[in-house]
Structure 1
Amino acid sequence: MHREGGVTGAAGRLSISASAVSQQLARLEREVGVAVIERTVSGAVLTPAGRALAAGAERIENELVELSSTLRSYADGVTGTIRVGAFPTFINAILLPYRRDLTATTPGIDVRIAEIEEPEGMTLLRSGRLDVLCLERDTNPETAPQGYTDAPVYDEPWVLITHVGNGPIASRRDLDGLTWLRQPPGSAGNHAMERITASMARPIRSPHMHYSYSTGVAMVAEGLGATVLPQLALTDVNRPEVRVTALPGLGVRRLLVRHRTRAVQSEPALAQFLDQLCTWCGRLPARVRTGPGLGHAEQRPHPGQTSP
């Protein structure tokens, strides 16, 4: 009655007669010892006691729904807390939307996310304060340290980010005249940049360096140089001064999740988390938006995936 606005509405919702609803309300009033409805010329309305009773019933209903979800997770036998360290593009494009899906399908697994850089993340992973560390690597990643496993979850193409004043980039030959922004030594972006420019006789290096992809975009927009960006970071490219080019042969950024090898065998929640993460990432579209200021778009599959 509280939700449907009256006895008639409640009767329709419950598919019973209005008199049956009135009888149930009368029985409820006898049980609680106070009047819960007041009959007026325009129909029955809740009394203050009735409104308090309805609010309490809704709280109990919500708690029962939550308890039911928790009990289902125990029935499935998969519960636990997974602590994940990751970098911004992995968090924003993958972990947050994946966590929403996981909460709906496997409510017994509680995923806790921390934005963290890899060196500190490895320290926490070794000490057991992290269960999973998300990594980014260039096309050919190194082997995981002994005792750890690097599970691949997503490959995405590197794309070229240039100032529109440089003009369209039609082939790799057009890369020779670009000035390249620096990226931190050892980073996936720096590995990609070194690999892409290795065949150039004298690649031109900018004195400017960017750590984050959004900063790289801002530097390109100011005409300080060119850089490469993974497709998941394209949400940062919203400037008309910037051109995005999906050039064949730039390679891929590989996204990996590192965990202690033996932990998967002893921790069912971790195994479930990793398995469902790989499945979820396998459904991500391979989409690259290109052009000045994202002026036009195209879709093409990247290695290991097919077009959706």
Structure 2
Amino acid sequence: MLNLERLRTLDALARHGSVSGAADGLHVTTSAVSQQLAKLEREVGQQLVAKNGRGVRLTDAGQLLADHAARILSQVELAQADIEAQRGQVVGEVRLAGFPTAARGLFPEVVTMLRASHPELCVRTSELEPEYGIRQVIRGDMDLAVVLDWNNKRLPVPGGLATAALLDDAADVAMPAGHPLATRAEVGLEDFADEDWVSWPEGEFCYEWLVFTLRSKGVEPRIAHLAGEHHTQLALIAAGLGVCVTPRLGRGPVPDGVALVPVRQPMLRHIYAVWRTDADRRPSIRAAVDALREVGRAVGI
């Protein structure tokens, strides 16, 4: 009979594309992955993995078995969800991912709430950008991810995922305190057509949103500085090096020398949770979603 843990290792290799990636996803060493794959090859009597340059690739037999492994593991997860649902107890482990300001603005209170309400539940969290969080949920490396899209640009969510709205987060324009528009009651992004912009790194969803939004207003953005952390962005603004859009969730203290002005037509980040539909009945998932909703309602901006 095929060993489930070895099938899980093969599935991780197929999903991550490398032995090191599979090891990271499974939280084991690369040698442990290699040993499990070697045992699985002996078990089935066929070569499943072949060298490919400095890495490895699945053979035809390996890909065939990996496809079966993905379906088997999905069925195992469904069985686990059904058993947990029948038992009705929130136990075991739940792994949460969230983009940085959600991790900072939601997770501390969510984890504290879950620990108090469900002491037998182990909660683990990771900080991941939305697209990576979704990918990790699909792979099975995370149970739930907190992600976002904007009111004028949606984040693609693949099939097979369930979603729950948590809160809408407004954003302001941050500018040096001495900026001519710093005392305005509200501003439009087009008011900063000739300014240097501080943005999230290229390739991230929020960077693409900023460029898309500015161009939709007839502004070709002059992005001078890239920073993933909002605190770094605001430090650059305080130094007089540009302007930026700064959401309110998880923003924390604003440094001296920075003025925040609301946008004339409010820009909202829609923040929501995603998880695999085959895990939907797991009490641990439901408890995590409920805690996220409660904290989201409390901090909704």
Asked whether the two chains share a fold, i.e. TM above 0.5, the reply is yes
Aligned to 2:121: 109
- Tell whether the 8 Å contact from 2:90 to 2:118 is kept in structure 1 after alignment: yes
Percent identity, aligned pairs only? 22
Aligned position for 1:182: 199
Letter of the structure 2 residue corresponding to residue 129 of structure 1: D
SS at match of 1:259: strand
Deviation readout 1:21-65 (Å, 9 max, x if unpaired) = xxxxxxxxxxxxxxxxxxxxxxxxxxxxxxxxxxxxxxxxxxxxx
- Whether the 8 Å CA contact 1:217–1:236 is kept in 2: the answer is no
Which residue number in structure 1 is paired with residue 35 of structure 2? none
- Separation of aligned partners in 2, 1:276 and 1:182: 31
Distance in 1 (alpha carbons) for counterparts of 2:155 and 2:132: 19
Choose from 274, 279, 285 the match for 1:258: 274
Q: TM-score scaled by structure 1? A: 0.60
User: Where does 1:196-235 land on structure 2 (aligned, <5 Å)?
Assistant: 196-235=213-252
In structure 2, the CA distance between the partners of 1:164 and 1:177, relative to structure 1 (3 Å rule), is farther
Structure of larger gyration radius = 1
In the TM superposition, what whole-angstrom CA distance separates every residue of 1:165-194 from its partner, at most 9, and x where no partner exists? 322244326333433223334434324423
Deviation at 1:252, TM superposition (A): 0.7
Whether 1:280 aligns to 2:292 is: no
Q: For the residues of structure 1 that align with 2:154 and 2:134, how far apart are their CA atoms?
A: 16
The residue aligned with 1:91 is 103
Ranges in structure 1 where 5+ consecutive residues have no aligned partner: 1-74, 287-308
Post-superposition Cα deviations, 1:133-185, rounded to whole Å, max 9, x if no partner, equal 22132224234101112322121101111112322244326333433223334
1:248 and 2:264 equivalent? Answer: yes
Question: Structure 2 length normalisation: TM-score?
Answer: 0.62
- The SS at the match of 1:165 is coil
Number of residues of Structure 1 aligned to a counterpart in Structure 2? 211
Cα pair distance change 1:107/1:76, threshold 3 Å: farther
- Could you tell me how far apart the structure 1 residues matched to 2:238 and 2:289 are? 38
CA–CA distance in structure 1, aligned partners of residues 194 and 166 of structure 2? 35
Map of 2:28 onto structure 1: none
1:268-307 residue pairs with structure 2 within 5 A?
Answer: 268-286=283-301
Cα distance in structure 2, aligned partners of 1:200 and 1:120? 29
* Residue 132 (structure 1) shift: 0.9
Return closer, same or farther for 1:143/1:200 CA change in 2, 3 Å cut-off. Answer: closer
When residues 208 and 131 of structure 1 are mapped into structure 2, their CA distance, relative to the original with a 3 A threshold, is same
